């Protein structure tokens, strides 16, 4: 590891579409997947990340640099995360949550998941289907049966006007 040499070590990460990124090791090890590779001594050359594309990796690295620059202050970290995710559309969030899962970054994983959940909160079934493009493959009878089974969850929710 870098500590002995005094200069910060830089790692090179490669996305699945062959883009190369340099990132400080101290920021990159927020990913447990990368940290394990560093600890096992397999981070010498280029680290290939087969499940992450360049666009997503660039975004994840921005997050890694941003969050690791904040000292141990949970509130400041939280407000950084909120700000970082505030302008991301769902497609981007889906890419990020998959990347966070692959890279084993629980803080990013939780933040993105909470952000997606926030969109669904207190929304009607019809609204959620439209928002995420979910196709309703229930027959009307099946849907009525599932609704009946969980009747209590429909109280106080805006009613669906489209089914």
The residues of the shown chain that bind another protein, judged by CB under 8 A, are 90-91, 94, 97-98, 101, 109-110, 113-114, 116-118, 120-123, 125, 128-129, 132-138, 142-143, 146-147, 149-150, 152-157
- Residue 19 CB, shortest distance to another protein, in Å, is 22
Distance CA 20, CA 8 (A): 19
Shortest distance (Å) from residue 116 CB to another protein:
5
Measured in whole angstroms, how far is the alpha carbon of residue 63 from the centre of its chain?
A: 10
Of residues 40 and 141, the one with the C-beta less far from another protein: 141
Maximum alpha-carbon separation in the chain:
69
Separation of alpha carbons 30 and 13, rounded Å: 14
- Of 2 and 94, nearer to another protein (C-beta) is 94
CB of 6 to another protein, least distance (A): 26
Lookup: tokens for 140: 């009307």
Q: Cβ closer to another protein: 24 or 98?
A: 98
Tokens of residue 42, six digits? 């397999």
Q: How far is the CB of 117 from another protein (least distance, A)?
A: 4
What is residue 87's DSSP assignment?
T
Q: What are the DSSP calls for 88-148, one per residue?
A: --HHHHHHHHHHHHHHT-HHHHHHHHHHHHHHHTT--HHHHHHHHT----S-HHHHHHHHH
Cβ distance to another protein smaller for residue 8 or 154: 154
At its nearest, how many Å lie between another protein and the CB of residue 2? 27
Of 11 and 111, which CB lies nearer to another protein in the complex structure?
A: 111
**Cα–Cα distance, 109 to 130 (Å, whole number):** 24
């Amino acid at each position: 590891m870098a500590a002995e040499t005094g200069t910060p070590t830089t790692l090179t990460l490669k996305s699945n579409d062959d883009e190369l990124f340099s990132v400080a090791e101290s920021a990159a090890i927020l990913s447990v997947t990368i940290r394990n590779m560093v600890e096992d001594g397999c981070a010498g050359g280029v680290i290939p990340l087969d499940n992450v594309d360049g666009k997503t990796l660039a975004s994840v690295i921005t997050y890694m640099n941003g969050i690791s620059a904040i000292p141990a202050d949970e509130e400041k970290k939280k407000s950084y995360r909120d700000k970082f995710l505030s302008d991301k559309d769902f497609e981007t969030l889906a890419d990020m949550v998959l990347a966070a899962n692959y890279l084993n970054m629980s803080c990013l994983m939780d933040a993105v998941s909470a952000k997606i959940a926030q969109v669904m909160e207190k929304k009607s079934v019809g609204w959620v289907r439209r928002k995420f493009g979910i196709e309703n493959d229930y027959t009307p009878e099946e849907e009525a049966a599932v609704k009946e089974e969980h009747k209590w969850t429909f109280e106080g929710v805006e009613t669906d006007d489209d089914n």
